[in-house]
Amino acid sequence: MRTQTQQPALLDHVDLRVVAAAAGGATADRHAVVQLDPDHPGFRDAEYRARRQEIARLSMTYKTGAALPDAPYTDEEHHLWRAVRAALGPAHGRHSCAEYLECAGRLELPHDRIPQLREVSEKVQAISGFRLEPVAGLVEPRVFLESLAGGVFLCTQYIRHHSAPFYTPEPDVVHEVLGHAVTLSSERLAALNRLAGEAVRRSASPEDLERLSRVYWFTVEFGVVREAGEVKAYGAGLLSSAGELEAMRRAELRPLDLEAASRQAYDPTQFQPVLFCADSFGAMFETLRDFLLNWGR
């Protein structure tokens, strides 16, 4: 059994150590069902596991382009969302970049209940053209990243276990919605997500996929920029965790060098000790856009 310090802080969309899928371990299928690790906070909660299966089934029967299925969240799960949002609110005020705050204000997502992916997707699509589609759990990085090229963000729909409101070892609806969906309603961040997907489509080798996954990790997931002399987050992994937002103050900041980021290993079992910081949001946009456009050409 893993110790507390070895627990993944967030095994995320581009993490190559994908969790095991049901029977056979095939994870290329975007509809694969995730089995909970024995160390998962919800592993011993039969009711939670049944609900995870119920919500996973929604995505397994989902057909691209169809209406997004509503998840039947319980009152307890809505309560959990309120608790997480209450913690994130002040952290966002202190640590998120202006672009994020502007997007969050535009989306006006509910504080009192978990929003359905359907309603979030409609709002995001109206702004940037990106739409959300449900998946049961983590899918392989190539499947996840290539879908971005088509303006589709693959989202989990379940919420973390109530025993650990500020921790999730895998992306959940909090991370997808308050991290990714909000940032995808930024036209510039949406454009970068599309470009990342297109760059992956031009990458045949596993080495190139790994390098692009690292670039995605250190930008879209854990990117920071300077604003008025302060370090602010635009990365979804930071923006969906009050703990990570506070911890980023202690990280070693390196200039945004994407060649270096593509070769920088990361460890998802702890708060990120190294972050790549651009001089401004605009500088980050141009640097990442040019890097992705030139990738593989």
Listed ranges 9-17, 50-58, 93-101, 188-196: which one lies at the site for Fe ion (CB under 5 A): 9-17
Residue that is written with structure tokens 């502007």 in the block: 102
Asked whether 171 and 220 are in contact (CB, 8 A), the reply is no
Residues in the chain: 297
With contacts defined by CB under 5 A, name the span among 92-100, 115-123, 126-134, 229-237 that binds Fe ion: 229-237
Q: Within positions 236 to 295, which residues make up the interface with Fe ion, using CB under 5 A? A: 236
Q: Closest approach of Cβ 14 to Fe ion, in Å?
A: 8
Q: Does 131 bind Fe ion (CB under 5 A)?
A: no
∠ CA 133-202-141, nearest 5°, is 40
Active site residue 221: yes
Of 8, 9, 12, 104, the one binding Fe ion (CB under 5 A) is 12
Backbone torsions φ then ψ of 96, nearest 5 degrees: -95, 155
CB of 237 to Fe ion, least distance (A): 6
User: Would you give the end-to-end CA distance of the chain in angstroms?
Assistant: 45
Q: Return the number of the residue (107 or 139) whose C-beta is nearest Fe ion.
A: 139
- Give the nearer residue to Fe ion in terms of CB position, either 45 or 210: 210
From the candidates 121, 180, 198, 262, give the one annotated as an active-site residue: 180
Closest C-alpha among 218, 213, 214, 32 to residue 139: 32
List the alpha helices (DSSP H) in the chain: 46-60, 75-95, 98-107, 117-128, 141-149, 173-174, 182-184, 187-201, 206-216, 236-239, 242-247, 258-261, 281-294
Adjacent-strand bridge partners of 132: 153
E strand or H helix that includes residue 233: strand 230-233
Which one of 33-41, 98-106, 230-238, 267-275 is the stretch in contact with Fe ion (CB under 5 A)?
A: 230-238
> Considering the complex, what minimum distance in angstroms separates the CB of residue 240 from Fe ion?
8
Spatial neighbors of 108 by CB under 8 A, at least 6 apart, are none
Strand bridging mode 274-278 / 224-227 = parallel
Catalytic residue among 40, 170, 175, 198: 175
Contact 145, 200 (CB under 8 A): yes
Q: Does 15 bind Fe ion (CB under 5 A)?
A: no
Closest separation between CB of residue 51 and Fe ion, Å? 22
- Nearer to Fe ion (CB atom), residue 13 or residue 51: 13
| Site membership for Fe ion, residue 13 (CB under 5 A) | yes
- Catalytic, 240? Answer yes
175 annotated active-site: yes
Q: Can residue 172 be called a binding residue for Fe ion (CB under 5 A)?
A: no
Phi, psi of 242 (to 5 degrees): -60, -35
Our finding on whether 51 is near Fe ion (CB under 5 A) is no
Q: Which is nearer to Fe ion, 21 or 220 (CB)?
A: 220
Query: Which residue of the set 99, 140, 221, 244 is catalytic?
Result: 221
CB of 164 to Fe ion, least distance (A): 18
Of the candidates 96, 185, 240, 262, the residue annotated as catalytic is 240
Beta bridge partners of 226: 231
Q: Let me know if 180 is a catalytic residue.
A: yes
Residues with catalytic roles: 175, 180, 221, 240
Binding site for Fe ion (CB under 5 A): 12-13, 236
